[in-house]
Structure 1
Amino acid sequence: MASIYDMLAEQRIADALRRGDFDHLPGAGKPLMPDDEALVPPEQRMANTILRNAGFCPPEIGLRKEIARLRSEIAGLAEGARRTALRRRLALLILQMAETKR
């Protein structure tokens, strides 16, 4: 059963909607971005936000970006020594990625 505070809050929100108080908010009419950290504890979310804002990222993210970059570069190359070297580097990074998941 909803408390009196819940009912009061719902009533005030409904009144504000009828008056159009929410019509000109930033992002109105746009889809909400899903919260990627919905299952992460609040303390960890705070630490993640601080690290992300400071420009830090987990090593796995860097590996994923490098793997994607190499795949794209390899796709544009013809067979040759450069392509072979990049494929070896890609295989090494994929192995490193598998090791980080253990």
Structure 2
Amino acid sequence: MDILMYLAEEKILEAQKNGVFDNLPGKGQKIIPEDLSMLPEELRAGYIILKNAGVLPEELQLKKELLTLQNLIDCCYDDEERKVLKKTYNEKILRFNLLLERRKKQNSPVVKAYLNKIYGRFK
């Protein structure tokens, strides 16, 4: 065991003795394993780090913004504000479609099904 592994193990054991791990969020709950088979193995660690940090891929962020804008448009009674919201919505739709075209994701039925599943989680 090299020195860094030894130091890390010592810190973990010390933290356990001090009760640092006793009241962590999610304690006692099931851990649901993620299916990361759609990602190349070399990208999985980065994906998990970004996901835990709350960073979404650009297309998902745009889709989330589109859903929010659509809800605002549906609830808006002021015509001028509605026009501004619709313009913003259309710009984001265009950007979203260009992004998908650039990444050539819309051609694959498997990817379409996957994206629809993810988009469904934001509704």
Root-mean-square deviation (CA), in Å? 2.2
CA distance in 2, matches of 1:36, 1:94: 29
Richer in helix (by share): 2
Equivalences for 1:1-102 in 2 at 5 Å?
26-27=29-30, 33=32, 35-78=34-77, 80-102=79-101
Structure 1's consecutive aligned runs of 4 or more residues displaced over 6 angstroms after TM superposition are none
Report SS of the residue matched to 1:101: helix
Mapped partners of 1:80, 1:74: distance in 2: 10
TM-score (norm 2): 0.51
Q: Shift of the alpha carbon at 1:81? A: 0.5
Q: Which deviates more, 51-60 or 61-70?
A: 51-60
The offset of 1:78, in angstroms, is: 2.3
User: What one-letter code is carried by the residue in structure 1 that aligns with 2:77?
Assistant: A
Partner of 1:21: none
How far off is 1:84 after superposition?
1.0
The code of the aligned residue for 1:83 comes to R
- 1:10-34, CA deviations, whole angstroms, 9 ceiling, x for partnerless residues? xxxxxxxxxxxxxxx853xxxx857
Query: What runs of 5+ residues in structure 1 fail to find an aligned partner?
Result: 1-24
Over the matched positions of the two proteins, sequence identity in percent amounts to 28
Question: What residue identity is the alignment partner of 1:94?
Answer: I
Residue 36 of structure 1: how far off its partner (Å): 4.5
The whole-number CA distance in structure 2 between the counterparts of 1:94 and 1:45 is 29
Q: What is the CA–CA distance in structure 1 between the aligned matches of 2:58 and 2:87, rounded to whole Å?
A: 20
| Cα distance change of structure 1 residues 74 and 26 upon mapping to structure 2, 3 Å threshold | closer
Which structure: larger Rg? 1
